[in-house]
Amino acid sequence: MKKTLSMALAVLTVSGLAFAGGAKDASNVVLNKDKPLVFFNRQPSDPTTGAIDMNSMNWNAKTYYVGFDAAGGGAVQGKMITDYLATAPASIDRNGDGTIGYVLCIGDVGHNDSKARTEGIRKALGTWNGSTDPSVKKDGSVVIGGKSYKVVELEGKAMTGTDGSTWNANAATEAMGGWATKFDKQIDMVVSNNDGMAMGCLQASNYPAGVPIFGYDANADAIEAIGAGKLSGTVSQNVDAQACGTLQVLRNLLDGLTAADVYTKGISAPDAYGNKISATMQYVADKKALLAANSAVTKANWQDYKAGKRDMGVKQSTAAKKKVLLTIYNSADNFLSSSYLPALKYYAPLLGIDLTIVQGDGQNEASCLDKFTNFNNFDAFAINMVKTNSGRDYTDKLAY
């Protein structure tokens, strides 16, 4: 009897150790805390300082971020604007006062991407004064047709909707209407942190005709607006590379790849199924981040970015199907809904991934978190947060 009892206790002890310390329980089921996790579009970070939340990024060995080079993108947008101005006619200075006045649509003062774009714009125009705060700026200068002009940011404003959502196009329409009335011919240019707000500005009934306007994201409607001469330029953050990269990293982790293979196979080198993303992506080790490159889109090359063009380097694979739960911070976000989601839905079946997509309202984290559940039904997770400092809210749920 004692021998039987001792053996039973030993079995319980070993099972308990396997459950507490290993990746699998007694049934060989991977625990939720050990499943692959990819943050995308919004990397966990401090909304004030921009410092990456490495606690969330190191949640487990299979945690990564996939996005784009935000700082590089801000610089691309700034250069696109100054390149445009360099060959603009003197009439761009609408009131002939020797000053180029512009207004700036800011997406979210607590978002790293918005900060990088604001910084890139202001540095290019000389109005950068060491802060992405809308109120902290200085006068700059720019060369137009060989002549130097003073540059003044007339007003910069975070576009927050009445429901609290950020990057809000309707708020941009309202703001533009007010700016056009307030500043009249002092406005020589309009710049936006994204295409949604830029297109919102163009909806203002009193938008000053002929005033150049620049966006960011290369959404389908923005590309068409460039072709039609309504939008002056935008920046492509290579949405197909980002969406496919998010899924490829998950696929690699689900296939048991480790170390550099996680962020190179199918990305900078062919994977086991012969797939390889065509666009350039760079891995930043200290941030566990895989980033897509950016490119300026203007009247000269807009047709290269028209909707419907997918990465031909990614074909149908024979990978075993895996289930992934993916969150979108805001169902109304223009970039995510019109560009990112369609790309995800295109590439997921090719990579053998069955996506379950849940979407929030862009205001309350709970609108995503409440739908982030039933973890045992999924093999991996992809998270797009409402607020960049909410990484722990998701990982805490996965801990149980």
Average pLDDT score, the chain: 91
- The residue with tokens 């620049």 is 214
Residue 299 clears pLDDT 90, i.e. is over it: yes
Between residues 15 and 84, the one the model is more confident about: 84
- The predicted-structure confidence for 352-373, as pLDDT tens digits, reads as follows 999 999 999 998 999 999 999 9
pLDDT band at 27 (very low <50, low <70, confident <90, very high): low
- The predicted-structure confidence for 195-220, as pLDDT tens digits, reads as follows 999 999 999 999 999 999 999 999 98
Phi, psi of 328 (to 5 degrees): -120, 125
Give the pLDDT confidence score for residue 306 in this predicted structure: 84
d(CA 9, CA 13): 6
Residue 78 clears pLDDT 80, i.e. is over it: yes
Q: What is the mean pLDDT of residues 103-117?
A: 91
Per the CB < 8 A criterion, the answer to whether 88 and 188 are in contact is no
Q: Is 218 left (phi over 0), alpha (psi -120 to 50) or beta?
A: left
Q: What is the mean pLDDT of residues 61-78?
A: 93
Alpha-carbon distance values, 115 to 72, 106, 146, 221 (Å): 12, 8, 30, 24
pTM of the model: 0.77
d(CA 276, CA 80): 29
Give the pLDDT confidence score for residue 284 in this predicted structure: 97
Per the CB < 8 A criterion, the answer to whether 227 and 254 are in contact is no
Fold for the domain defined by 71-236: Rossmann fold (3.40.50)
Q: Is 325 helix (H, G, I), strand (E, B) or coil?
A: strand
- The predicted-structure confidence for 129-140, as pLDDT tens digits, reads as follows 988 777 788 999
Residue 61 token pair: 């060995």
Percent of the chain scoring above 90 in pLDDT? 81
Residue 96 clears pLDDT 60, i.e. is over it: yes
Residue 255 clears pLDDT 60, i.e. is over it: yes
Residue 296 clears pLDDT 80, i.e. is over it: yes
Per DSSP, the residues of 124-192 read HHT---S--STT----EEEEETTEEEEEEEEEEEE---TTS-SS-HHHHHHHHHHHHHHHGGGEEEEEE
- The 8-class DSSP code of residue 361 comes to B
- The 8-class DSSP code of residue 35 comes to S
Q: What is the mean pLDDT of residues 151-164?
A: 95
Give the pLDDT confidence score for residue 19 in this predicted structure: 36
Taking each helix axis from N to C terminus, what angle separates 70-86 and 112-125, rounded to the nearest 10 degrees?
30
Domain ranges across the chain: 30-68+238-398, 71-236
pLDDT band at 304 (very low <50, low <70, confident <90, very high): confident
Q: What is the mean pLDDT of residues 171-175?
A: 98
pLDDT band at 266 (very low <50, low <70, confident <90, very high): very high
